Amino acid sequence: MKILSVVGARPQFIKLAPVHLAAQKFGIEHIVVHTGQHYDPSMSQLIFSDLGLPNPKYNLEIGSGSHAFQTGNMMIGLEPIISAENPDWVLVYGDTNSTIAAALSAVKIHTKVAHLEAGLRSSNRAMPEEHNRIATDHLSDILFAPTEQAMIQLEKENLGEKSYLVGDVMVDACLTVKENAIHVSSKDKVSNYVICTIHRAENTNSKNRITEILQKLANINFEVRLVAHPRLMAKCDEFGIDLHNFGVHVLPPLSYSQMVKAVLGAVGVITDSGGLQKEAFLLETPCVTVRTETEWPETVSSGWNILDPEISSDVEAFFVHKRSAPDIAVYGDGLAAEKMISVLLENAI
């Protein structure tokens, strides 16, 4: 069996790592195509080398641009590669423009598609990721749901028959890195800093919104370490905002191991990232999510995450509040990637 994975954005490189290991374990040929959506060394090469991933066989080097520019050019680049490689499965990850471009390219030339992280919904139709994930689920031949909630959603959309509950591949990645790299116990926090990331379009597309968020961060009574995504830096440059004027400690993008370590040692996380909310939960660090909705409701119902788009709650009290350990089994057992490869093997013919 031959699988062709298409990745392009940082969180997809992290999800790729356990999949690549599982493919190796099962002795399966695994081709990796990088669309080039994320291209800065700190967003791409740093993650590949940190996780011991080989260089992709193909890199389309599409880069940044409008949704249509990215998606269209990715499709033009992907079609001949998928045709030439003729894999049994094209595997697509999450909800980025690289995901929808790969799914659409593959189905058009009758190559089977499997979608990892299927069934997640924010119900926010303004998010580009929401269009990408709904369309990808409906295009794919096999859907891998990370949670029971995602399975229920897929059944509601009449996609239950082709769906498999395998758990979340980010758990595989996160727990491996935690075990290998970390000696800081989450119960033994010595640091009083907060890890913060802000990159989503709705939080970075206007000068007012960015300034508002930075002012809220400046008022927090812990050291705020802002790990700055290139989109935030680019928007601050465009709007003439100097990040250093807000009393926050600005850091460049981190490798995955560095991020896991930083979250483990933090008193709390403030983020608008989908992935980081869940990593905070897995690492027993409370999280304030700067959004009105989440694709990971289990993190909220457990009391470890709150949705607070205006950062108006008592963040300090929320972070230090004593709570019982989260039930991380809602996101699987750390073997999601192996389960996925088994399903693909069973359905290869």
Q: List active site positions.
A: 199
Q: What is the C-alpha to C-alpha distance for residues 285 and 326, in angstroms, rounded to an integer? A: 10
Letter for the amino acid at 221?
Answer: N
In the complex with ligand UD1, the residue whose CB is nearer, 42 or 191, is: 42
Position 39 contacts ligand UD1 (CB under 6 A): yes
Q: What is the C-alpha to C-alpha distance for residues 85 and 98, in angstroms, rounded to an integer? A: 18
Position 325 contacts ligand UD1 (CB under 6 A): no
Applying CB under 6 A, which of residues 72, 128, 160, 297 lies at the interface with ligand UD1?
128
In whole angstroms, how close is the CB of 227 to ligand UD1 at the nearest point?
A: 11
In whole angstroms, how close is the CB of 182 to ligand UD1 at the nearest point?
A: 23
Binding residues for ligand UD1 restricted to 198-227, rule: CB under 6 A: 199
Q: Is 177 helix (H, G, I), strand (E, B) or coil?
A: helix
In the complex with ligand UD1, the residue whose CB is nearer, 15 or 30, is: 15
Q: What is the C-alpha to C-alpha distance for residues 159 and 220, in angstroms, rounded to an integer? A: 44
Position 38 contacts ligand UD1 (CB under 6 A): yes
Q: What are phi and psi of 72, to 5 degrees?
A: -65, -45
Q: What is the C-alpha to C-alpha distance for residues 239 and 118, in angstroms, rounded to an integer? A: 36
Applying CB under 6 A, which of residues 109, 234, 325, 329 lies at the interface with ligand UD1?
234
DSSP sequence for 221-243: SSEEEEE--HHHHHHHHHHT--G
In the complex with ligand UD1, the residue whose CB is nearer, 234 or 320, is: 234
Radius of gyration in angstroms for the set of CA atoms belonging to the chain, rounded to a whole number: 20
Position 133 contacts ligand UD1 (CB under 6 A): no
- For ligand UD1 (CB under 6 A), the number of binding residues is 18
Checking DSSP bridges between strand 29-34 and strand 58-59, what pairing results, if any? parallel
Edge-to-edge order in the sheet of strand 58-59:
58-59, 29-34, 2-7, 89-93, 113-116, 142-145, 163-165
Letter for the amino acid at 196?
Answer: C
Count of positions (residues) in the chain: 349
Identify the DSSP state of 58.
E
In the complex with ligand UD1, the residue whose CB is nearer, 65 or 80, is: 65
Applying CB under 6 A, which of residues 5, 6, 7, 11 lies at the interface with ligand UD1?
11
Binding residues for ligand UD1 restricted to 59-118, rule: CB under 6 A: 64, 95-97
Q: Quick one: which segment of 36-44, 53-61, 217-225, 341-349 binds ligand UD1 (CB under 6 A)?
A: 36-44
In the complex with ligand UD1, the residue whose CB is nearer, 76 or 201, is: 201
In whole angstroms, how close is the CB of 10 to ligand UD1 at the nearest point?
A: 5
Contact by Cβ (8 Å): 162, 144: no
Position 255 contacts ligand UD1 (CB under 6 A): no
Applying CB under 6 A, which of residues 9, 33, 53, 248 lies at the interface with ligand UD1?
9
Position 43 contacts ligand UD1 (CB under 6 A): yes
Cβ-based neighbours of 231, under 8 Å, separated by 6 or more: 199, 204
Q: What is the C-alpha to C-alpha distance for residues 151 and 285, in angstroms, rounded to an integer? A: 26
Position 286 contacts ligand UD1 (CB under 6 A): no
Q: What is the C-alpha to C-alpha distance for residues 148 and 183, in angstroms, rounded to an integer? A: 32
The two tokens of residue 37 are: 């959506």
In whole angstroms, how close is the CB of 130 to ligand UD1 at the nearest point?
A: 10
Interface ranges with ligand UD1 (CB under 6 A): 9-11, 37-40, 43, 64, 95-97, 128-129, 199, 230-231, 234
